[in-house]
Structure 1
Amino acid sequence: MTHYQAREDEVRARIAEGLVYTETDAAFLAPARRDDEIFAYNHTPPSDGTERVRLLGEILGSVGARPVLQAPFHAAFGSNVHIGDDFFGNVNLTFVDDVEITIGDGVMIAPSVTLTTTGHPVHPARRADFGRFSEPIVIEDKVWIGSNVVVLPGVRIGHGSVIGAGSVVSRDVPPMTVAVGVPCRVVRKITDDDLTTRTATARFGAG
């Protein structure tokens, strides 16, 4: 094993453990970025659905059947994002995917949502050379995320849950619940009563 390979392996291990690493540490990951392909996607006419699907296949780590992703969208890499079948993402969706973002089937995401796997240390000395840490995000099947939501590193959102507009999700959300707020908290379970209502909750729409 070469010195450079040993160094890469060390940095990958630090990233996987959620430890702080720097821009210089992670420079070898740059070829995994899909900046040009994302630019091309965002400038492809909406009527050319075939080309958009082709480009998504080049950009994302994996993509299921019948994806809809409205332009523009943004990603740190793109190649660390995995989406399932029947995905719908509205405009200005941002993936900060320094590590993996995994999205299940039937997920709907409203405008101007940010999914960020990466944060930064509190002390400024540890932010030298863009010091940061990364933890994967998992969004399970049939989740609905409202407008202007931010999902923070390491969060899992459970099957069927609804995240209300404007929420900041800093901890896991259980399946089949409505969660809202800053910080985002569960306000109730989703039940069969919701089959006859218009909104997720009387007080908070998902957006």
Structure 2
Amino acid sequence: MKTEKEKMIAGEMYNPMDRGLVEDRKQTRLLLKAFNDTAEDQLSERGRIQKTLLPNASKDLYLQPPFYCDYGFNMKVGKRVFFNFNCVVLDVAPVSIGSRTMFGPNVQIYTATHPLDHKERSSGVEYAKSIVIGEDVWIGGSAVICPGVTIGDRSVIGAGSVVTKDIPEDVFAASNPCKVIRVLKEN
């Protein structure tokens, strides 16, 4: 029989009030509080906390506080990734971020979702869908990445966009809902 954590990571319905998951989120919140409270000249302390908070991230990940996530362990982050101020990653399901990807301020990445049926939703169960963001991607400020989305390598997402469907590689996409505006060409 699967644990609630195993069901959560697998994208199955699970109980978020499971004692183990509540404890995991509490520990993450404590690490986030410590990280977000560091001063600009406390880079070694930030690095130490960041390594514990995001064990599957490259050492050269840069998080500009404040930063928020649900668990941290569900994020796989490539080299030289940059998160600007006030980004949120609800990493209930796995989130994979390719190398050299940049996030503007206030970007929101949501794997968590809820049943559409009100009776099922009111029971308290939820589920999540993994998100994959390729390499060399730029996500503009205040964009929202919805559950289950894949964004292809080298694509750019315009500020304020709401990404509800997959975006191919090498495109500029924007709007609500986000759609491809044009193909990007290499110089």
Q: TM-score, normalised by structure 1?
A: 0.82
Structure 2: give runs of 5+ residues left out of the alignment. none
The runs of 5 or more residues in structure 1 that have no matched partner are 1-5, 196-207
CA distance in 2, matches of 1:100, 1:14: 10
Q: Does 1:38 align with 2:35?
A: no
Deviations 1:58-86 (A, max 9, x none): 00131213221111111111221121111
Aligned to 2:3, the other structure's residue is in SS state helix
The superposition leaves residues 114-141 of structure 1 with CA deviations (integer Å, 9 ceiling, x where unpaired) of: 1010111222211124322201111111
Asked if residue 171 in structure 1 is aligned to residue 165 in structure 2, the reply is yes
Larger Rg: 1
Deviations 1:21-70 (A, max 9, x none): 3324x443334331111110000111111111111110013121322111
> How many matched pairs?
185
RMSD, aligned CA: 1.8
Match of 1:108 in 2: 102
> 1:71, 1:92 within 8 Å by CA — same for their partners in 2?
yes
What SS does the aligned partner of 1:20 have? coil
**TM-score, scaled relative to structure 2:** 0.91
Residue of structure 2 aligned with 1:118, choices 112, 117, 135: 112
| % same residue | 34
1:190 matched to 2:165: no
Deviates more, 1:123-132 or 1:63-72: 123-132
2:16 paired residue among 1, 13, 23: 23
Secondary structure of the structure 1 residue equivalent to 2:32: helix
1:140-159 aligned at under 5 Å gives the runs 140-159=134-153
